[in-house]
């Protein structure tokens, strides 16, 4: 499984990456983005499959900052896709 980390704080990014590497070493970090704008650009230009039907196995996970970052709130990400 591939994953994307959306995090603007270096320490938080490193900690999330460390935990995933430890708990799920088979997972592959595809990208780290720091802003909503960068994340949207990446997702719109990449073959990312975030299973939304609840039945098909998902091949991607999006891990995001839950607070405001880069001048936008994380919920803006979902609203624009």
pLDDT tens-digit series, residues 4-38? 888 888 998 899 899 999 999 998 888 888 888 88
3-state class (DSSP) for residue 11: helix
Torsions phi, psi for 73 (to 5 deg): -95, 150
Q: Find tokens 């990312």 and name the residue.
A: 48
Containing H/E element for 30? Answer: strand 28-33
Q: What is the pLDDT of residue 14?
A: 93
CA 72 and chain centroid, separation: 15
Q: Are 28 and 3 in contact (CB under 8 A)?
A: yes
Backbone angles phi, psi at 50, to 5 degrees: -95, 90
User: Which pTM value belongs to this model?
Assistant: 0.67
Work out the percent of the chain whose per-residue pLDDT is above 90. Answer: 16
Residue 49, both tokens: 């499959």
């Amino acid at each position: 499984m591939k994953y994307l980390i959306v995090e603007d704080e270096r320490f938080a990014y490193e900690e999330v990456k460390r935990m995933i590497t430890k708990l799920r070493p088979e997972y592959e970090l595809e990208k780290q983005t720091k802003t909503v704008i960068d994340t949207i650009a990446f997702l719109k230009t990449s073959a990312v499959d975030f299973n939304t039907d609840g039945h098909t196995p998902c091949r991607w996970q999006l891990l995001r900052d839950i607070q405001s970052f880069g001048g936008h709130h994380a919920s803006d990400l979902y609203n624009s896709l």
